[in-house]
Amino acid sequence: MDAARITRLGLVVHPVRELSAALETIGRWSDEHGVELVQVPAPGQRRSVAALGDPATCDAIVALGGDGTALAALRAGAAAGRPVIGVACGSLGALTAVTADELAGALDRLTAGDWTPRMLPALVLEPAGGEALTAVNDIVLVRHGAGQIAVTVRVDGELFIRFAGDGLVVATPFGSSGYTFAVGGPLLAPGSGAYVLTPLSAHGGCCPPLVLGDESRLAIGLEPGPGGARIELDGQVHALVDAHAPQSLAISRRSDHATLVTLGGGETLLAGLRRRRLLIDSPRLLARDDREAALAAEPESGQVGT
């Protein structure tokens, strides 16, 4: 992106969150700098804030909302080869670089080229005989209604596990802090170059989460139960699978798929999880901290008050 030639910015907006301050800021900034604003088509958008525009004609895409909005913007930006800057209209997340209050300054830095690209990997889902699909966070195969689904998982051609249950989650390092983390899967460090498969509510057997190398390839056989199954990409339902209609799917990892704008000094993934109390220290250690803080606050022994 040539900083001196920014003429159009794409917007992806949260469907319901309060965005008036952020929209006012970016509208005023674009008027002052002669930059056109368009709204980029993306899943989950239910309100219009600008004329629709092709992301390929934009110099960058601005996501106003939270991590879910940033994910939608990253999907659109990756397809067009455009960077995305995530703006938190609420609490900061893993993919949002700045808050709404910092938006004008962030746009100035974007225009000046004072930013660093952070390349994010993706997962590639290849249905047998179908078009390849991508996800930045996670791919979820899950039952759609009553009845379990049956899953067969092979890694690089070798059988790993067969199980019946609710389904499975396959996640990138960023995605591992979401759905995967919620169901007891491991966190992956952002620079690990890995991805992880985590079964959902497996009924019996031994089905541990599996961390895979960047070049490993999953082959998944999916047998929907009576209620069918669904395929979700980054939290959005992509397709419904009819009951008793087996599917063969392949999943692999792609490096450097999407570009996230970073401005330096940002919060790390682990620091963000601690701030949001998704990672919490042992109660015993927290109690020890409280005792030590109380002792430090006590007056010195023998000190005479005035």
User: pLDDT (tens digit, 9 = 90+) per residue, 132-161?
Assistant: 999 999 999 999 999 999 999 999 999 999
The model carries a pTM of 0.88
Assign 3-state DSSP to the chain and report helix, strand, coil percentages, each to 5: 25, 35, 40
- Dump pLDDT digits (tens) for 60-106: 999 999 999 999 999 999 999 999 999 999 877 788 878 999 999 99
Q: Give 78's DSSP letter.
A: H
Q: Where are the beta strands (DSSP E) in the chain?
A: 8-13, 36-39, 60-65, 84-88, 98-99, 116-127, 133-135, 138-143, 149-155, 158-165, 167-171, 194-200, 210-213, 218-223, 229-233, 236-241, 247-262
User: pLDDT above 70 covers what percent of the chain?
Assistant: 96
Task: Name residue 35's amino acid.
Answer: V
Cα–Cα dist 145/170, whole Å: 21
Catalytic entry in 2, 31, 67, 156? 67
Question: Which one has a higher pLDDT value, 37 or 130?
Answer: 37
CA-atom Rg of the chain in angstroms: 23
Domains in the chain, please, with CATH?
Answer: 3-115+263-275 (3.40.50.10330), 121-255 (2.60.200.30)
Q: Where are the beta strands (DSSP E) in 192-276?
A: 194-200, 210-213, 218-223, 229-233, 236-241, 247-262
Does residue 138 have an active-site annotation? no
User: Pairing mode, if any, of strands 98-99 and 60-65?
Assistant: unpaired
- CB atoms under 10 Å from CB of 56, counted, come to 13
pLDDT confidence band for 306 (50 / 70 / 90) = very low
